[in-house]
Amino acid sequence: MSDREKNRGMERFEHEFRRWGGRPPRTQPETAGRRIAARLGPAHTGLPLWRMAAAAAAMLLVVWGSWGLLRLGNGTPHGHGSPTAFSRSEAYVPPPLEENVVLWWLDDKTPVYFVLESGDQG
């Protein structure tokens, strides 16, 4: 199938979809909502407040626990996420760099040195 045929097919689909979307609904939204609620029955029309509160508390515990596990797994001290959080005795101090050396940090403990070729070598 060529691109032109694909584009024509997509244009026709979009035209028909817009035409279908422009029609008025067969059933008014309020009526449809009442019908759906009646089919679900009284047990599904609403949750008691204590169940919603328990679900919210459980979700909060899951999010908080996940965040804690992620913090433990990244190798940084609790509550500290940057290399500047370490004391001076723990911090790595790189040696003096020449003009053609670039230092990048991948993480708190991983320096990467890039040695650039100088233009005067020949």
So what's the pLDDT on residue 121? 56
pLDDT tens profile 50-79: 777 888 888 888 888 888 777 776 555 544
Residue 60 shares a structural domain with residue 40: no
Instruction: Confirm whether pTM is higher than 0.75.
Output: no
Please state whether 81 falls in left (phi above 0), alpha (psi between -120 and 50) or beta: alpha
User: What is the rounded CA–CA span in Å between residue 57 and residue 14?
Assistant: 44
Residue 100 shares a structural domain with residue 88: yes
Which of 48, 107, 22, 101 has the alpha carbon at shortest distance from 73?
107
pLDDT grade for 88, boundaries at 50, 70 and 90? very low
Instruction: Look at the chain and report how many structural domains it folds into.
Output: 3
Range of the domain at 27: 1-45
Residue 110 pLDDT > 80: yes
Please state whether 79 falls in left (phi above 0), alpha (psi between -120 and 50) or beta: left
Least-confidence region, from 16-20, 59-63, 98-102, 114-118: 114-118
| In contact, 83 and 108? CB cutoff 8 Å | yes
Residue 70 shares a structural domain with residue 37: no
